[in-house]
Amino acid sequence: MNPLLAGVFGAGAGVGLWAVLRLLVPAKPDLARSLAQITAAPQPPDGNTETAEPDRLTAWTVRLGLPRAAIRADLAALDRATGDYLRNLMRIVAIAAAAPIALALGLAASGTSLNLLVVAAASIGLALIAVVAVEAEIHAKAEQARTEARRALAVVLSLCAMALSGGAGIESALRSAAASGHGPAFARIQSALDRAVLLGTTPWQALADLGDRLSVDAYTQLASTTALAGTEGARIRSSLTDRATALRAARLADIETEALAATERMSLPIVAMATAFVIIVGFPALERIMTGL
**Cα(13)–Cα(106) distance, integer angstroms:** 12
**Cα(173)–Cα(157) distance, integer angstroms:** 9
Specify the pLDDT at position 75: 85
Specify the pLDDT at position 16: 65
**Cα(213)–Cα(76) distance, integer angstroms:** 6
**Cα(72)–Cα(268) distance, integer angstroms:** 35
Please count the other Cβ atoms lying within 10 Å of the Cβ belonging to residue 104: 26
Specify the pLDDT at position 81: 79
State the DSSP code for 293: -
pLDDT block averages, 10 residues each, the chain of length 293: 59 65 58 56 43 53 70 84 81 86 80 77 88 90 88 84 76 81 85 83 83 84 68 65 79 81 82 85 78 70
